[in-house]
Structure 1
């Protein structure tokens, strides 16, 4: 992604195969114009808060949605979610937990911390494409966001 201020979808995923599958599903649904993939929670927070290697990015420019994995290196998904939802300027960003965890405790904790949606990754690619289409249609097209 050339202009980091134009990122619409931030994918936070440490598994390269899952990240590639998400990108393929977005592409198949024509939702890939402005996507950035980061591989750990620390990098996600650095992007959102325009610090570290993203310090030249405008902090006022926010992604339209964040697709966040739960189990991440450095800083896990729940801590990333907690940090994003605890700041007035970033708490309005829709965060969709896109994870393989079916644990009730992960689901409950995610909603307690302010996640907008919790989706268990389908194993089947066609079902994953359908899930991504629904996410994109709702969060990028239908949902009205504060800018």
Structure 2
């Protein structure tokens, strides 16, 4: 028997697991969705929640309500979307869209206020979504990379 399907995510309580993993992964663990917390770096989840707290309505995946996005959070290792060694495959990255802010507005704010987002080490520029990740850097500060 599956437990309630809208279980919130520890460390990112305003998100449900359906918003953060692809449908196939969610279905595989639907009998115990809290297990899915092990797919994510806690720093990434804390940062995701902080972004929603700061900027309001934030969408990662929307497959559960009929949308096309399901690989903007965790990606399985065999996923062909994105880079071969994507931080998404390590549970360290999210792609976010905000209702009231453009991706560039969020990027500009984060770069101007890095102390508010201490775990962000890289963001993607020149895309219509806000990608952040919490990889272990070999640099100081927040690196902006382009696709």
User: Which structure's residues are more often helix, by fraction?
Assistant: 1
Please give the range of the TM-score, normalised by the shorter of the 2 chains. 0.3 to 0.5
Q: Given the two structures, how large is their TM-score scaled by the length of structure 2?
A: 0.34
Q: Which fold has the larger relative contact order, with Cα–Cα distance below 8 Å and residues 6 or more apart in sequence?
A: 1
Q: Given the two structures, how large is their TM-score scaled by the length of structure 1?
A: 0.34
